Amino acid sequence: MTSTHKPAPPFGRTLCAMITPFTEGGALDPEGAGRLAARLVEEGCDGLVLNGTTGESPTTTDAEKAELIAAVREAVGDRATLVAGVGSSDTRHTVGLALAAEQAGADGVLVVTPYYSRPPQEAVAAHFLAVADASGLPVMLYDIPGRTGTRIEPDTMIRLAEHPRIVAVKDCSYDFLGTQKVLARTELAYYAGCDEHVLALYAVGAAGCVSTVGNAVPAHVSAILDAFDAGDTARARELQLEAMPLIEAMMGAGLPGTVTTKALLARLGLPAGPVRAPLLPAGRETADGLLTLYGRLVADTPGAV
């Protein structure tokens, strides 16, 4: 059966893959996280993804993850949906993180494909179903084979869509054909997880995006989708292309998005702090370049940024 309408966005439309701010000493900065989250919501985000890849989930403790959710919930109240990353390579651990996220105040969970062990598709499906069965929260699947080593194959995605709590996908598959196949055959709400795909995926029926670049320019990312929704596809295209230099510098220049995002936010005087090892901070030249590109984007489209 082919789906012919865009599913309602279960977690909002413009989501930011928020960094996890740390103090200069490297500890969790819940106050800074609250301030950053409030800014993101005020400037166009109606959802926040916490404890994801950009949020340095591999190097934060379970207790820090729960504390971050609670701090952000206190800061934004019900103004934004909170989706908590709970992925790990261990199904039991993932289930535990999902239950803790629910208790801490999350509205949904982001569950990545188990990594390193490279499970076959039957095991991938069993992992997601176990998490979906364990808590009352809706689930966003996270398909990012470049990091995990394993796809969620389109046929597996279609099968998982039958579960009532599996409602969305953060798509970093770089398989546009496979994505369209799932969009056509399910009610899953797709979210572009790669900033260069925000407009393209939205145009074929995605619910929105989970943007890393949105940490710095949330209003601009939101404006791309606003323009498309208003029927001004030319303006949406213009805004997407205007953002491309910053997107490339933050996401495609050889450094993890966490590193470039924290470097730029620090230059903007926003809560960020250091990255945790094994990541290393961006150099001064990189940070200077990011700030220059940010300034150009703000100057070119002041109303959107």
In this predicted model, what pLDDT tens digit does every residue of 167-184 receive, in sequence order?
999 999 999 999 999 999
The answer to whether residue 191 is catalytic is no
Catalytic residue among 65, 170, 190, 262: 170
Q: pLDDT tens digits, residue range 246-261?
A: 999 999 889 999 999 9
Per-residue confidence band for 6, with pLDDT thresholds at 50, 70 and 90: low
Distance of CA 65 to the CA centre of its chain: 15
| Whether residue 113 has pLDDT greater than 90 | yes
Q: What is the mean pLDDT of residues 36-64?
A: 98
Distances (CA, A) of 212 to 119, 131, 140, 178, 297: 28, 25, 17, 23, 16
Quick one: CA dihedral 132, 135, 137, 140, positive or negative?
negative
The single-letter DSSP state of residue 213 is G
Backbone angles phi, psi at 21, to 5 degrees: -65, 140
Q: Say what the pLDDT of residue 1 is.
A: 47
- Enumerate the β-bridge partners of residue 48: 16, 82
Phi-psi region of 205 (alpha: psi -120 to 50; beta: other; left: phi over 0): left
Query: Under a CB-based contact definition with an 8 Å cutoff, are residues 193 and 177 in contact?
Result: no
What mean pLDDT is reported for the chain? 96
> What is residue 7's predicted lDDT score, i.e. its pLDDT?
61
Task: Note the pLDDT of residue 146.
Answer: 92
pLDDT given for residue 8 in this prediction:
74
pLDDT of residue 149 exceeding 60, the answer is yes
Q: What are phi and psi of 107, to 5 degrees?
A: -95, -15
- Domains plus CATH for the chain? 14-230 (3.20.20.70)
pLDDT at residue 300 in the model: 77
pLDDT tops 80 at residue 70: yes
Judge whether residue 4 has pLDDT over 60.
Answer: no
pLDDT of res. 5:
59
Q: How far apart are CA 212 and CA 16, in angstroms?
A: 6
Candidates 6, 65, 115, 142; catalytic one: 142
CB 36 within 8 A of CB 30: no
Peptide bond into 138 cis (omega under 30): no
Residue 170 annotated to the active site: yes
Rounded Cα distance between 203 and 198, Å, is 9
The reported pTM is 0.96
How many other CB atoms are there within 10 angstroms of residue 285's CB atom? Answer: 8
What is the DSSP track for 95-159?
HHHHHHHHHHT-SEEEEEPP-SS---HHHHHHHHHHHHHHSSS-EEEEE-HHHHS----HHHHHH
Mean pLDDT of 70-94: 97
What does the alpha-carbon distance between residue 175 and residue 173 come to, in Å, rounded to a whole number? 5
H/E run at residue 226? helix 218-229
